[in-house]
Amino acid sequence: MPHHDRDAEIAAFIRTKGVTRCPTACVVPTQGSPDRADQAALEQYAVARELLRAKSATRWQVFGSLRVRN
């Protein structure tokens, strides 16, 4: 299916179904931007993930210093 046909088909689907948000994955890039509450929630999520990653990395560093005996 040519690219322009697919775009037209997607646009027709959105018009007929009234889709305003895509909960899983978007087919085409969005032209909008999330509101401030969503941006703040995403920032908090990113900070929490980084803290968890750092904590986990520190825990696993202990195993990096162990040597295997033969």
Predicted confidence at residue 1, as pLDDT, reads 54
Residue boundaries of the structural domains of the chain: 3-64
Residue given tokens 């202990």 in the structure block:
62
Give the long-range contacts of residues 57-66, CB within 8 A, separation 24 or more: none
Is-contact 27 10, C-beta < 8 A? yes
Task: Please tell me the predicted confidence (pLDDT) of residue 44.
Answer: 93
Summarised one tens digit per residue, pLDDT across range 13-66 is 888 877 666 655 555 566 667 788 988 998 999 999 999 988 887 776 766 666
Put residue 37 in one of left, alpha, beta given phi > 0 → left and psi -120 to 50 → alpha.
alpha
User: What pLDDT score was predicted for residue 49?
Assistant: 92
Q: What is the pLDDT of residue 51?
A: 92
